[in-house]
Amino acid sequence: MKINKLKSLIAGTALAAGVGFSATAQSSLAHTGDWKSYSKDATIEAKVDSLLALMTLEEKIGQMTQFPGKTAVTGPAIQDDYKEYMEKGLVGSMFNVFGAKGLRQLQQYAVENSRLNIPVLFAADIIHGYKTTFPIPLAESCSWDLELMERSARIAAEEGTAAGISWTFAPMIDTSRDPRWGRVMEGAGEDVYLGKKVAEARVKGFQGIESWEDFGKPNTMLATAKHFVAYGAAEAGRDYNTTDMSDRTLRETYFPPFEAAIDAGVATFMTSFNEIGGVPCTGSKYLYSDVLRGEWDFRGTVVTDYTAINEMVDHGFAEDLKEAAQKSLDAGIDMDMNGAAFIKHVGALIEEGKITEDHVNQAAARILELKFILGLFEDPYRYMDEEREAATIEKAEYFEEARRNAQRSIVLLKNENNTLPLAKKEKKKVALIGPFVKERMSLNGDWAIKGDRKKSVTLEEGLMAAYKKSKVDFLYAQGATLPRKIEAENAKTAEEIQSKVEEALAVAQDADEIIVAAGEFWKWTGEAASRTDITLPKSQKALLRALKELNKPITLVLMGGRPLDLSWEEENMDAILETWYLGTQAGHAIADVISGDYNPSGKITLTFPRNVGQIPIYYNHKNTGRPEDPAKWADYKSTYLDVPNTPLYPFGFGLSYASFEYKNLNLSSDEFSKGGNITASIEVTNTSKVDGEEIVQLYIRDIAGSVTRPVKELKGFEKVMIKAGETKTIEFSIDESTIEFLTFNNVVAPEAGKFNLWIGTNSADISNAASFRYVENANN
């Protein structure tokens, strides 16, 4: 049985209609008082109902409580002794503790010391790899390779579950359009259509299931769709900040990836830190009761983000933690991550009549159900096999996949005069300059969890291996230091900067070409890492300016977690390679691209602005009543005085060592009606002497609707290998689902009218265009 939604996993269980205790199951276990008496043939509903009947109110509330471990902290910890709670059976879950041996000991303590022997659910932030670290999600999304993303999530799950983890707080599927926000590195960029596809791929990869029975296997992992919702739209790009928008924008831009995650069978949701419309998400009945559970029929578990309940007091939405607990539980929250709000206050709230025990029963049932589905009651230690852990972690084939993934995540932004690739057979001296040539600690980026930063391959190591038998002689100078904190970078004196620059110039003078490795220290991106200045650090910029004066070809290799303002670099560098944070095999993958052993194929999924003043800037914006149209508006139009409206690099942009020609765009018909479709096709020719992959992109614009529509929207893409001199015909099917949208009547449906269509190499490519009409009645 294929799954479409989580309800497929639990159809017919107690959650289908609230928690209705099974009288038969309740009476059969009332005499034994032992959960082990459950029949293996009993339904999950009977198991959940029967266990709830045995539990005290305090024990149920304990299931709704998640405590952090000691090995990773992602926020301000609430200092409570979790072992005391374990003995009382009051720990539903723990997160960010790792290792089969250690977790077995914790599980044993919880099971053997508590009254009902209920196992603990162990969770972690496994974002882009567990031990084998893959490119950050933003980088990986630039591959536009959904199978690749699913594979990396599957490997992360294989390693994580071998180390005792059965629940990950990923994928992050927030639509993000502001590179000032540090957590853009954790998502798939700005586009809704691509975001939906990535959400589906990563959920499937983490969970690795076809039907609910598959969760009984010890290599399956519960995935979490986060952060619900609009966290990526925080004002000013400042983490945790206020978000406010219309319900239409929520439904058109921010909801769809979460709906896609449900369709892929995601098991859990996580709340968001921000507020919307004056209501913190963690306390929003609208989001969790009305939309998530009501409209979308989600039957899984909702966990808060780290201390999100507590933070509703700071938001000004609750007077104290007790009121915050009441509002979050009333909104439909099931588990409190490290806030201790439920365990401290829910009992009193019930006594006071402010909430009912039904609230607790529903939440506890959802959490217990996860444990039954995972088979933890049959074997609490099924994820804690030391032999499997030793045999699984950092397999050779995982490193191979990490390298393949990293190659495909790199984006070539500029390549003037064919500066790249750097030929191996040509005798020359190449200066390796910059703080990232030997930098190792940053390569995994943020959220690397258990990835060993000391093992990640540096750029220098990758190049030395790739050019070991070549005629290229590499020289080295650091050129600029890489402080861990921005404050230290800003405090550098002109003398400090110049002394490092002069060292680099002395080396570069003797070189034929220069490769500069620059970017952001890894702590400069990620959670709580917002920036208002998204240019390169001043010492690195000074280095580039000085090297430019040598009049030698310069390749800029960028490492970081966000799009930067590269306006000066675009004008002055000969080649620019965006490599992001590529993980364990970073150096090898970058060297593969520099050498031409791999032809770059990535395309950006988040627009690069010309400067920070353009932010937010994204391709699928609205047109305004006074668009930039010289024929219509001479002066009073929606433009800037100092820079063009256009971005530096548009969504979907990326170069290749191959060149591709698009021609002969054809529509099978210029019209279709209800129940019909048309096919759009185009010929793509590799006009170079190099084989290459091209990401062919389909964009559509609804010219006029009952509500205004974006200037264009991605509606399809295909990544295709085209050999040198070869021509391939790429086809896209367009039907009602392609053109439907949220109409004025708040119904998702197509509307009759004219549509423009483009097929090209990026969102700004309008050279191959056509138009068609959708008619509601073919006879009209």
Tell me how crowded residue 344 is: count the other CB atoms within 10 A of its CB.
17
DSSP 608: B
Residues 6+ apart with CB under 8 A from 734: 672, 677, 678, 679, 680, 700, 715, 757, 772
Residues 6+ apart with CB under 8 A from 396: none
What tokens were used for 275? 């507020």
Residues paired with residue 660 on neighbouring β-strands, in sequence order: 686
Burial label, 219 (beta-carbon count in 10 A; 0-12, 13-18, 19+) = middle
Phi/psi at 204 (5° precision): -60, -40
Angle, CA 415 vertex, CA 413 and CA 419 arms, to 5°: 145
Burial label, 738 (beta-carbon count in 10 A; 0-12, 13-18, 19+) = buried
What is the Cα–Cα distance from 287 to 268, expressed in whole angstroms? Answer: 14
C-beta separation of 43 from 12 below 8 A: yes
What is the Cα–Cα distance from 101 to 583, expressed in whole angstroms? Answer: 26
SS (H, E, C) 282-309: HHCHHHHHHHHHHHCCCCCEEECCCCCC
Residues carrying an active site annotation:
305
C-beta separation of 456 from 583 below 8 A: yes
Residue closest to 334 by CA, chosen among 65, 6, 120, 121: 65
Residues paired with residue 694 on neighbouring β-strands, in sequence order: 720
**Cis peptide leading into 229, omega within 30 of 0?**
yes
C-beta separation of 153 from 201 below 8 A: yes
Cβ burial 160-191 (10 Å sphere, 16+ → b, else e): bbbbbbbbbbbbbbbbbbbbbbbbbbbbbbbb
C-beta separation of 18 from 12 below 8 A: no
